[in-house]
Structure 1
Amino acid sequence: MPELNSFGQSVGDVVPGWEGRPAPELVTLEGDYVRIVPLDSVHYADLFAAVCGPEDDSLWTYRPIPKPTSLATLWMHLADVLDSPNLTFALIPLEGERAGLASGIASFYRIDPQTGQVEVAGVLYARSLQRTRGATEAIHLMMRYAFDDLGYRRFEWKCDSLNEPSRRAALRLGFTYEGQFRNHMVTQGRNRDTDWFSITDGEWPRVRTAHEAWLAPGNFDDTGHQRTSLAARK
């Protein structure tokens, strides 16, 4: 039963000693399989090669713009991204065919230090980064920074409701589905309904343990294939 106040109204649980938390910063996050660094123009050429190739149009279906067809177009797009209030990072795998080269981006959106919530958004992985240990570790590192370093209470993930790979990724990573915002925005001239997912600070210890167990070197054989899936560890 919820607590009642002196007026007989139901109220939420007390959050002992709650104060606003620090805002996230453009930090470098080091993992075993990926390095996360502040996005800079030095990464643009590598990113163009990674996500703007002849077979990469589908990577941009659910993004604000279609696939850039030139480095100059990508440059202008990413310059606008850096001019926004969001914090955007380049993802640099430490293994595989593009080790040491920027192969994706991800951002902190909707940053609200006063209430301790932040969203990971704008995630774009090169095909070579998709379905790798580095791809999972990148989101894990951003979660760990928000929860463990900053003391946030809520970490969000949102996606186009028709973006089935993104929906599956959210659930695999331990997010809870919260609902759908209908007619939420117009993207590339088309309606977008947006699905909302989150992880709370109360859920984070369980999610963190599952991530760490999956990411452990012993969970992979000599060819890099997982021994136990992340879904099986949650």
Structure 2
Amino acid sequence: MTAKLPAPITLTGRHVRLEPLTRAHTRDLFTAGGGDEEVWRWVPVPVPRTPEEMADTVDARLADRECTPFAVVDLGSGRAIGVTCYFDADAAEEQVEIGGTWYARSAWRSAVNTESKLLLLTHAFEDLGMGRIYWKTDHLNERSQNAIRRLGATYEGTFRRSKQRPDGSWRDSVYFSMLGEEWPAAKARLTERLAAG
């Protein structure tokens, strides 16, 4: 199978629906996380403190040609509660990054992240034909690193002083990946985890 680049698509699970991000999601997203320092602590953009700033944050994602952004919609409420993205897809190299993820605090330690990542991984490996999916995160963001490890990803290394934070300080970026041959076992574990609760 020749790998394909991601395109806007809707991916639906039992708890969440990932749908192409649009400006229409702005109000829900502001309600979900606007002005919340803890939600935005490790997202490399300024904290959106007004609906207009959230609209600017959404517009920036939509304008990024290397990004395929999704609104994460809670199926129970029908409201967008966060965002997640594919980045830097390369069909020739059969790889894509998953990142730019944030959720309302109410979704933390719930099935939301596990199912969102299961939907993205399934689509990338099984529909797009990717052979490697990777993540990178701030070296201080232990919560994100632990969540990525729980998906079954492998630590690859740390790029030092790789990205400037909104406050002007510099972060190291911790890289993880999952390969196509590792996906079946990871999928089974993630599916079992979701079924258990």
Q: Mind listing any 5+ residue stretches in structure 1 that lack a counterpart?
A: 1-18, 221-234
Structure 2 residue aligned with 1:80: 60
Alignment of 1:10-29 (within 5 A): 20-29=2-11
Could you tell me whether the CA contact under 8 Å between 1:21 and 1:152 is conserved in 2? yes
- Structure showing greater radius of gyration is 1
Equivalent pair of 2:2/2:129 in contact (CA under 8 Å) = no
Tell me the alpha carbon deviations over residues 15-70 of structure 1, each in whole angstroms, 9 at most, x when there is no partner: xxxx64111111000101110000011100000000015xx212112222231111
Q: Distance in 1 between matches of 2:2 and 2:49?
A: 43
CA RMSD of aligned residues (A): 1.1
Q: Distance in 2 between matches of 1:185 and 1:150?
A: 29
Identity across aligned pairs (percent)?
37
Question: Contact 1:20 / 1:115 at 8 angstroms: preserved in 2?
Answer: no
Query: Is the counterpart of residue 57 in structure 1 residue 37 in structure 2?
Result: yes
Higher helix share: 2
Deviation at 1:161, TM superposition (A): 0.6
**Structure 2 gap segments, 5+ residues each:** none
TM (normalized to structure 2)? 0.95
| Structure-to-structure mapping, 1:64-103, within 5 angstroms | 64-85=44-65, 86-95=67-76, 99-103=77-81
Match of 2:123 among 145, 151, 158: 145
- Aligned with residue 193 of structure 2, among 188, 197, 214: 214
Aligned amino acid, residue 45 of structure 2:
I
| Matching residue within 175, 186, 209 for 2:164 | 186
Match of 1:110 among 81, 88, 92: 88
Would the aligned equivalents of 2:26 and 2:55 in 1 still touch at CA under 8 Å? yes
Counterpart Cα distance in 2 of 1:65 and 1:127: 18
Q: TM-score, normalised by structure 1?
A: 0.81
Q: How many residues align?
A: 195
